[in-house]
C-alpha cells in the first residue's frame, strides 16, 4: 500500500502536469527573480549573499557584512512563502477542484496559515531530530569509520525516515489549513494514528527515493553549471509537489473519508 501511495502521488503530479506547472510557475519565477534582483538593490551580489550564509565566513567576518545576512533572510522568507503558495494551490486543486491559472490566486490567509504551521512542524522535527541525530550518529559512526558504509547508510536512511514520519504525521494539518479548515497541530498526529505504520513505510520509500535521485541525477547531469541548477530545481520541485500530493492523499482519506488511493 505504501508504494502505491507514493506512486499515486507521482501520478497525481505528472498526470496533471499542466495544472501542476500553473500552480508553481509564477511563485518559482518570482523567487528566482528576487534572487538576482534583491541583492544589487543593497549593493551586493548573489555571491555575497551565498557566502554570508556560510557559518565559517560569518565567523571570519565576511566583507559584505551583516547586510548580506539580512538579504539572505529576506530571500529565505520569500522562498518559504512561495513554496507555501504553491502547496496551498495544489491542495486546493486536488481537494476542492479549484483549477489554477497561470497567474494563480493568492489566498493570503491560507498561505500564511500554511507557512506558520509548516514552521511549527519544522520546530517539532528539529527537536525530535536532536536525540535521533545523536543516537544515529553514535550508531553509524563506528560502521563508517570501519568501512561499513552500507550499514551506516541504512542508519542514515532510518534517521531521515523517522523525521519524515514525524513531518507527515503532523503534516495532516497543512492541507486542512490550505482549504480553510484549520486544525490544532496535535490533531494531525492524533488523526493519523490509525495508519501510522503505513505512513512510516511511506517515509522509508520517500527517503530512499530522494537519496537515490540526489546521489545519481545531479552527478550525472550537473557537470555544466546551468544544467546543474536546472536539475537541482527540477528535483526540488518534484520533491515539493510529490510531498504535497502525499499529504493531500492522507488528508483526503483521514478527513474526507476518501479511498486511500
51 or 177, greater pLDDT = 177
CA distance 143 to 181: 47
What is the reported pLDDT for 54? Answer: 55
Give the max Cα distance, the chain: 57
- The answer to whether residue 260 sits within a structural domain is no
Query: What is the model's pTM?
Result: 0.88
Is 58 part of any domain? yes
Residue 115 pLDDT? 96
**202-to-40, 161, 227 alpha-carbon distances in Å:** 43, 9, 30
Sign of the Cα pseudo-torsion (175, 181, 185, 188, in order): negative
The DSSP secondary-structure symbol of 195 reads: G
Give the tens place of pLDDT for each residue, 217-236: 766 665 666 676 777 788 88
Q: Is the pLDDT of residue 1 over 80?
A: no
Whether 123 is in a domain gets the answer yes
Domain that holds residue 201: 2-254
| CB-based contact 83:237 (threshold 8 Å) | no
Q: How many CB atoms lie within 10 A of CB 229?
A: 12
Residue 210 covered by a domain: yes
Residue pLDDT, tens place only, 41-93: 877 777 767 665 554 444 555 555 677 778 888 999 999 999 999 999 999 99
For the chain, the domain total comes to 1
Retrieve residue 161's grid coordinates: 525516515
* Per-residue pLDDT, 61: 52
**CA dist., res. 139 & res. 62, Å (int):** 37
Minimum mean pLDDT among 21-35, 127-141, 189-203: which range?
127-141
Instruction: Take residue 44 and report the three cell numbers written for it.
Output: 551586493
Residue 229, in any domain of the structure: yes
Report d(CA 189, CA 172) in Å as an integer. 8
pLDDT tens for 124-153 read: 999 999 999 898 888 777 766 666 677 878
199 located within any domain: yes
Pair 104, 27: CB distance under 8 Å: yes
End-to-end CA distance of the chain: 9
The answer as to whether 259 is a domain residue is no
Q: Indicate whether 238 belongs to any domain.
A: yes
Amino acid at each position: 500500500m505504501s508504494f502505491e501511495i507514493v506512486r499515486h502521488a507521482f501520478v497525481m503530479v505528472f498526470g496533471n502536469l499542466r495544472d501542476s506547472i500553473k500552480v508553481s510557475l509564477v511563485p518559482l519565477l518570482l523567487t528566482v527573480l528576487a534572487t538576482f534582483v534583491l541583492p544589487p538593490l543593497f549593493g551586493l551580489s548573489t555571491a555575497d549573499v551565498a557566502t554570508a550564509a556560510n557559518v565559517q565566513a560569518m565567523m571570519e567576518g565576511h566583507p559584505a557584512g551583516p547586510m548580506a545576512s539580512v538579504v539572505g533572510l529576506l530571500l529565505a522568507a520569500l522562498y518559504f512563502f512561495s513554496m507555501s503558495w504553491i502547496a496551498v494551490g495544489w491542495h486546493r486543486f486536488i481537494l476542492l477542484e479549484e483549477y489554477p491559472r497561470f497567474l494563480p490566486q493568492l489566498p493570503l490567509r491560507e498561505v500564511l496559515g500554511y507557512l506558520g504551521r509548516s514552521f511549527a512542524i519544522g520546530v517539532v522535527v528539529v527537536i525530535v531530530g536532536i536525540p535521533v541525530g545523536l543516537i544515529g550518529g553514535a550508531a553509524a559512526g563506528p560502521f563508517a569509520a570501519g568501512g561499513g558504509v552500507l550499514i551506516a547508510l541504512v542508519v542514515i536512511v532510518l534517521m531521515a525516515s523517522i523525521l519524515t514520519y514525524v513531518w507527515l504525521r503532523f503534516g495532516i494539518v497543512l492541507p486542512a489549513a490550505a482549504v480553510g479548515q484549520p486544525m490544532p497541530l496535535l490533531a494531525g498526529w492524533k488523526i493519523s494514528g490509525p495508519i501510522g505504520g503505513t505512513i512510516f513505510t511511506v517515509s522509508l520509500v520517500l527517503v530512499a527515493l530522494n537519496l537515490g535521485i540526489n546521489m545519481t541525477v545531479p552527478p550525472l547531469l550537473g557537470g555544466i553549471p546551468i544544467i546543474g541548477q536546472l536539475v537541482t530545481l527540477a528535483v526540488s520541485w518534484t520533491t515539493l509537489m510529490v510531498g504535497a500530493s502525499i499529504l493531500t492523499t492522507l488528508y483526503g482519506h483521514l478527513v474526507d473519508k476518501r479511498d486511500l488511493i
